[in-house]
Amino acid sequence: MRKMSEYQSRNPAYVERIRERIASPVVKDLFGMEEVSIAPGVIQLGIAVRHELGHAPGWFQGSVTTAIAEFACGFAAMSLIAPDWDMMTLDQTIKFIGPARGERLVAKARVIRPGRTITTCQCEVYAIENGAERLCAVMLQTNHQAPLAAKG
Q: How many CA atoms lie within 13 A of 41 on its CB side?
A: 16
Sequence-distant (≥ 6) Cβ neighbours of residue 34 within 8 angstroms: 22, 28, 45, 46, 47
Provide the 8-state DSSP code for 60. -
Domain at 9-145: CATH code:
3.10.129.10
Summarised one tens digit per residue, pLDDT across range 38-69 is 999 999 999 999 888 887 888 999 999 999 99
Whole-number Å distance between alpha carbons of 36 and 105: 11
- Is the pLDDT reported for residue 19 higher than 90? yes
The pLDDT, as a whole number, for residue 5 is 55
Summarised one tens digit per residue, pLDDT across range 30-41 is 899 999 999 999
Domain assignments of the chain as residue spans, ordered by start:
9-145
The pLDDT, as a whole number, for residue 122 is 98
85 φ/ψ sector (left φ>0, alpha ψ -120 to 50, else beta)? beta
Q: Judge if pTM exceeds 0.75.
A: yes
